[in-house]
Amino acid sequence: MTTERSENYQESLAGLPLFSQSVPPVAEKVEAARPLGSVAHLSTVSSPPLGRTLDWSLVSALRAQASEQLSQAVAADRGRLDKTAQEELGRTIVLDLIEATVSDRVNAGMTTLPGGEQDALARAVFDSLFRLGRLQPLVDDDRLENIIITGHDNVVLERTDGSLVDGPPVADSDEELIDFLVFLASRSEVNARGFSEAQPRLHLRLDGGSRLAAAAWVTPRPSVVIRRHRLMEVTLADLVERQMLSPVAASFLRAAVRARKSIVVSGMQGAGKTTLVRALCAEIDPLEAIGTFETEYELHLHELGRHRVVHPWEARPGSGERGADGRMAGEFTLDEALVDSFRFNLARQIVGEVRGKEVWAMIKAMESGTGSISTTHASDAVAAIRKLVTCAMEAGPHVTHSLAASKLASTIDLIVHLDLRTANEGGRSTRRRRVAEIIALDPGERETGYATTHVFAPDLDRAAVPAVLPDAYRDLATYGFDLGAYLAQQEVRS
C-alpha cells in the first residue's frame, strides 16, 4: 500500500460516524429507507455467499461517498444522531448510491446489476461503514467456527465439522488489513484497545460475541483468528443431547453447581470450555446475583437474560508509556474488578479464562465465596492443576510451588476436562467434543501439595464414566445427583 493510499484509508476510517458521541436520536432527521429489491432492510439481508466475487474497488468508492455524506449529515446535526439513527440514515444513503450506480450503468449502455448482486453490493458497503467490512460475511456464516488469517490473502476457514476450506482475501494488502485492525481496536466507545508496533497484540470481543485475536509487527504477516461462539443459550440437557456428556455426569455437575462447589473447566483450544461454563451457569438460581470477570467478554451472561442480576467486569489493558508504578494509563485489572465487586452483594463470582496471573483473581474469588467457575487450557485434568500452579508462580518469586499448590487445593473442588477429537470418516471431517474426566481436588500429598480422585474417568472412547465417588460427594444426591445411576454404572464398569 502506498503512503498516499494508507493516509486516504485512515482518513476514510476516521470519517466514519458510527462512533460519534451517542445522545438521544433526532428521529425527524432520519428518512425512511426506500426499497430497492430486497436491500430495503440491510440489517436483515444475509451476507453474500463465500464464493461470490465483488468489485471491492467499487465497494471502496461507494463506502467513501457514503462516509462523506454521513459525516456531513452528522456534522449538520451537531452530533445528535445516536448509533441507531446513524445506521438508519446510512441505509438510506447506501440505497441511494446503489440506485444511482444502477442508473449510471443503464445510461452507459452496460448491463444492469442483477438483484442478487445489488444486495451483495449494498451489504458490503453497509458493512464497510458500520461493521467488519470484508470480514463480516465470514463472521455471519453459521457454517464457520474459526476464521484463520495469516496475511490478507491467506485465509483458512474452519467449519463446525472440523473441515478446512480456503477463504477469500479480507483486504487488498497486509498494510490495509493492519490499518483496519488498528481502527477496529480503537473504535469502541467503552473499552478501546491499542494495537501498534509498541502494542503488537490484540484481543477483542466483536459484536455478536465472537472473539478476535491478532498479532502484527512481531509476525512475518498479520495474523488473525476469529472464534465464533455458536452456542450461547445452552444447558447441560442440551449438551447431553449433543452427546457431550452422559446424563449421570450432567446430573453430577448440575448438583455440584447447586451445592456451590468451585469448578475449573479445562481443555485444549476449541474444546468447548466456554460453552460448558455457560451451561453450568444456567444451573445457578435465576435470583442469585452474579459477577463475571473476564479479559474480554465471552460468557455474555449479562445479555442472555437468564439471571436477574449480572454485573459483568471486563479488564482494560491501558495504553501509552508505563508510569512509575509500572502500569499504563487507563489499565484496569481483574484484581481491581474483584476488589470492587465485594461492594455489589454478589452470590457468585465467576472468573473467565485463566492464562496467567489472573489465577490469583480466581483463587481470591473462590476463597471469598463459594460456587465460582473458571476455565484454563490443559491436556488433561491433572495437567490443569500443574498449569494453574505455574500461572500462580508467575506473580513473582514470593509465590512458591508449595504455596500455589496449597492455595489451589484448598479452593478448587472439581476439575472438568473436555476432550476434542477430529476424525476423518468416509472422507468427511467430524469434530467430537466430550467431557472426558471429572476429578475432585483436595489438600494432600507433601510432594505435590494436592490429592486427586477421579470421580469420572475416561473410557477407551474418551467419554467420562463413573469411577470413584468420595464420601463427601454422596450428599450431592440432595441437590439432584442421580446417585443410583452412578453406582449402577460404577458397578458394571468394575
The mean pLDDT value for 87-111 works out to 87
Question: Distance between CA atoms of 76 and 144, rounded to whole angstroms?
Answer: 41
Q: Where are the alpha helices (DSSP H) in 394-461?
A: 401-411
As to burial, measured by CB atoms within 10 angstroms (0-12 exposed, 13-18 middle, 19+ buried), residue 401 is middle
pLDDT band at 323 (very low <50, low <70, confident <90, very high): low
**pLDDT value at 40 more than 80:** no
Place of cell 446503489: 98
The string of DSSP letters for 115-129 reads: HHHHHHHHHHHHHHH
Q: What is the pLDDT of residue 115?
A: 78
How far are the Cα atoms of 142, 232, 377 from residue 161, in angstroms, in the given order?
12, 18, 21
Which one of 133-137, 203-207, 333-337, 476-480 scores highest in mean pLDDT?
476-480
The mean pLDDT value for 225-250 works out to 90
Nearest to 31 by CA among 103, 79, 81, 75: 81
Alpha carbon 329 to its chain's center? 25
Residues 413 and 256 sit within 8 Å (Cβ to Cβ): yes
pLDDT band at 248 (very low <50, low <70, confident <90, very high): very high
Residues 205 and 172 sit within 8 Å (Cβ to Cβ): no
Question: Distance between CA atoms of 75 and 77, rounded to whole angstroms?
Answer: 5
- The residues, any chain, with a CB within 8 Å of residue 100's CB and separated by 6 or more, are none
Question: Distance between CA atoms of 129 and 123, rounded to whole angstroms?
Answer: 10
The mean pLDDT value for 314-322 works out to 73
